[in-house]
């Protein structure tokens, strides 16, 4: 029997926008290991180091670093959980911004496929064996509070839209069992503070963010990866923060890819 667990993911937002919250919450009882469940929460934030004018953001963002290190930097952080076999998810389009309402689902699906197969910028084989299966729309909402709390696990993995605190673009709550296998993972994407695009505007200005990049990042969290260093690993998808208008990290870098390979090889 599944035990009802609640978790409060305390999170500190710093000026550097490094916001990771990873708590393990287990049953306080002496239940069998198979009944234990863990929850973790992870966020992708706005890179306010790159804030200010958009031209500055574009010239100093990952675009420069990508050329140098996307395929040579193999840094990754593997967490305690991973996806094995097929992970099934649902979409709740309620609250989707009008600009992306018609394209968000396809973009989110594509981002998931990038992670499940290992599609990358480095010519490495996209041959990972996991499947991120879209199973339809849901009326259930992502169980994520506007205060970045993981509010429960109904066993259904839902990606949807809602309000998040300042600087947080999207937030993922992932549940996994005692074997380290993901049982559910919800994602909440901000629909208040930031403007999203699925096709980069010819002139990209202001706080506009690429939904595909963001969702590739969130799906990598679900897959079992944590954050790497914002500066040293700037070309990888798993930096904690993103810059506006940046589309250079829609596909995996060498570190992201190496991380998925390591997770797949985990016994």
Residue closest to Zn ion, measured at CB: 44
Chosen residue from 9, 38, 42, 209 binding Zn ion by CB under 5 A = 42
Residue number with CB closer to Zn ion (36 or 169): 169
Q: CA of 100: how far to CAs of 34, 138, 160, 194, in Å?
A: 40, 18, 13, 12
Residue number with CB closer to Zn ion (11 or 44): 44
Give yes or no for residue 225 binding Zn ion (CB under 5 A).
Answer: no
> Using CB under 5 A, which of the segments 29-37, 40-48, 89-97, 254-262 binds Zn ion?
40-48
Secondary structure letter of residue 142 according to DSSP: P
Q: In what helix (H) or strand (E) does residue 71 lie, and over which residues does it extend?
A: none
Secondary structure letter of residue 199 according to DSSP: S
Residue 63, token pair as written in the block: 């675009």
> Using CB under 5 A, which of the segments 37-45, 60-68, 84-92, 247-255 binds Zn ion?
37-45
Residue number with CB closer to Zn ion (54 or 218): 218
Residue 215, token pair as written in the block: 């969702």
Give yes or no for residue 44 binding Zn ion (CB under 5 A).
Answer: yes
Residues 23, 179: Cα–Cα separation, whole Å: 17
- Closest separation in Å from C-beta 220 to Zn ion: 8
Q: What is the separation, in whole angstroms, between the first and last Cα of the chain?
A: 25
Residue number with CB closer to Zn ion (36 or 168): 168
Instruction: Using CB atoms within 10 Å of the CB of residue 190, give its burial: 0 to 12 exposed, 13 to 18 middle, 19+ buried.
Output: buried
3-state secondary structure of 84: coil
> Using CB under 5 A, which of the segments 6-14, 44-52, 73-81, 190-198 binds Zn ion?
44-52
Residue 160, token pair as written in the block: 């949807």
Going 179 to 79 to 123 to 215, the CA torsion angle's sign is positive
Mark 87-116 with x for binding to Zn ion (rule: CB under 5 A) and - for no binding: ------------------------------
Residue number with CB closer to Zn ion (22 or 131): 22
Residue number with CB closer to Zn ion (36 or 172): 172
Give the footprint of Zn ion on residues 163-182 (CB under 5 A): none
Residues binding Zn ion (CB under 5 A): 42, 44
């Amino acid at each position: 029997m599944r035990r009802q667990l609640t978790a409060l993911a305390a999170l500190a937002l710093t000026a550097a926008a490094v916001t990771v919250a990873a708590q393990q919450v287990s049953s306080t009882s002496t239940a069998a290991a198979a009944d234990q469940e863990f929850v973790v929460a992870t966020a992708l934030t706005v890179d306010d180091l790159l804030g200010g004018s958009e031209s500055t953001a574009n010239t100093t963002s990952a675009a420069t670093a990508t050329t140098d290190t996307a395929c040579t930097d193999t840094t990754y952080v593997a967490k305690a959980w991973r996806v094995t076999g097929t992970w099934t998810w649902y979409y709740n389009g309620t609250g989707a911004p009008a600009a992306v309402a018609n394209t968000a689902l396809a973009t989110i699906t594509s981002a998931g496929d990038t992670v499940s197969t290992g599609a990358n910028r480095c010519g490495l084989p996209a041959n990972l064996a996991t499947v991120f299966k879209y199973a339809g729309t849901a009326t259930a909402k992502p169980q994520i509070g506007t205060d970045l709390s993981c509010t429960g696990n109904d066993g259904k993995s839902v990606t949807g839209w809602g309000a998040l605190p300042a600087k947080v673009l999207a937030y993922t709550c992932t549940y996994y069992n005692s074997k380290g296998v993901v049982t559910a993972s919800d994602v909440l994407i901000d629909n208040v503070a930031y403007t999203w695009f699925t096709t980069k505007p010819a002139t990209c200005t202001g706080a506009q963010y690429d939904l595909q990049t963001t969702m590739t990042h969130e799906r990598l969290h679900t897959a079992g990866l944590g954050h790497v260093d914002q500066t040293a690993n700037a070309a990888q998808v798993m930096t904690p923060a993103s810059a506006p208008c940046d589309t250079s990290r829609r596909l995996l870098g060498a570190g992201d890819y190496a991380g998925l390979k390591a997770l797949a090889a985990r016994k």
